[in-house]
Amino acid sequence: MRKREMVKPRVAYLGPEGTFCEQAARKQFSRAALIPYPNIAGVFMAVEKREVDYGAVPVENSTEGSVYATLDRLLESNLMICGEVELKVAHNLIVKPNTSLNQIKVILSHPQALAQCRRFIENTFPDAELREVSSTAKAVELLGSVDNAAAIGTEIAAERSKMVVLKKGIEDESNNLTRFFVLGEVDARPTGRDKTSLIFSAKHIPGALYRVLEIFAVRNINLTKIESRPEKGKPWSYVFFLDFEGHRTEEKSNEALNAMKERCTYIKLLGSYPRAQ
């Protein structure tokens, strides 16, 4: 029998083939069997059921902010974050062969891609119907069945579907980055260039959030992200997603996490992992 370490890891990603998520997975895993899933929930479930070894999901865009479907699943799932990938995202206007700009009446893409190209769409197609689909690659796939349509997606997706890139680089911000998480059953070992992610809720008293953040300030721990999300089933109650520099096993990080237990009503550690390069 072949040893486990000789077998290619199986990695689920938000598909179909040709998505930015596939590119992120390839960037993280030089040798892996990549398996597309139709939505973010499917990627989480594939790892949870051990159909695959890892999962790759988008979590945040530098222009449009967080991917809430991922944040909500992180709150519910027992999976850990074991890696982070940053990818520069260049969007393209893709059409069926022999389609011109003035024929386009419908634009298909993922909601994040549509939002990242908002100014281009408003200036070029002010009357176009925008249709949201599960991924940019799915949008390109659907072109064949929609008349007078264009998709926003990757050049790889256009090539695989035998479609044409009509315009390149249509994103509103040239420095448009998307951050992806790699999910697994355990997080990563310390590397000296790590980040840690967690979820917490604070007490409903004046200064409660300040007292939580103070824990990191007095230890000179840099916070790289903090964001609130509504707490399910509790109207007007919130949980906070927080990222900080350092590995959870480092002394001052461990001290901070222990101090949080006294000042928070809920803490969930999502994992420590190497910072994206």
Going by C-alpha positions, the residue among 140, 104, 94 that lies closest to residue 124 is 104
Which candidate in 178, 181, 200, 240 is catalytic?
178
| Nearest partner of 222 among 209, 213, 230, judged by Cα | 213
Q: Look at residue 261 and give its three-state secondary structure.
A: helix
**Catalytic: which of 120, 180, 240, 241?**
180
Q: Examine the residue annotation and report whether 180 is marked as an active-site residue of this protein.
A: yes
Structure tokens at 158: 């256009």
Give the helix/strand (H/E) hosting 246: none
Report the b/e string of 15-37 with b at 16+ CB within 10 A. Answer: bbbbbbbbbbbbebbeebebbbb
Is 20 one of the catalytic residues?
no
Please compute, for residue 64, the number of CA atoms within 13 A of its CA located in the half-sphere on the CB side: 18
- E-only strand ranges, 111-253: 129-132, 149-153, 164-168, 177-184, 194-202, 223-230, 238-245
Q: Residue 11: which residues within 8 A CB-CB, separation 6 or more? A: 25, 28, 29, 32, 33, 34, 35, 52, 53, 54, 55, 56
Neighbours of 104 (CB within 10 A): 17
Residues involved in catalysis: 178, 180
